Amino acid sequence: MIFHKPKEKLEKLPSYIRKPFFECPICMTPWWGIVVYLVAHYSGLPEFEKLSFARLIFTVLVSSGINTVILILNKIYDKLNDVDQDLKLEKQK
């Protein structure tokens, strides 16, 4: 997690500041995505050679979508894992 060590100090910030920095992966995407996009552009990667607003928006939206899918899959995995643990406990009884 980003900012994991100073989390105790950052917890005092209002939620509208916490979410884009370290609490919400979907909310972080526009801010960190812009930074990564600009670093890729200025580092000379051929895919990011042409700097355009439309390409930036597309990149950020696709990244948000990927983060959403990852979070949904993570919730499904957690639910399935909980069901497996419940079944193991029932078998032990």
Spatial distance between the Cα atoms of 79 and 81, rounded to a whole number of angstroms: 5
Task: Give the pLDDT confidence of 29-87 residue by residue, as tens digits.
Answer: 888 888 888 888 899 888 888 888 888 888 888 888 888 999 899 889 888 888 777 77
Higher-pLDDT residue of 2, 76:
76
H-helix or E-strand containing 58? helix 53-92
Please determine, for residue 20, whether its predicted confidence score (pLDDT) is greater than 60. Answer: yes
pTM of structure: 0.65
Spatial distance between the Cα atoms of 81 and 83, rounded to a whole number of angstroms: 5
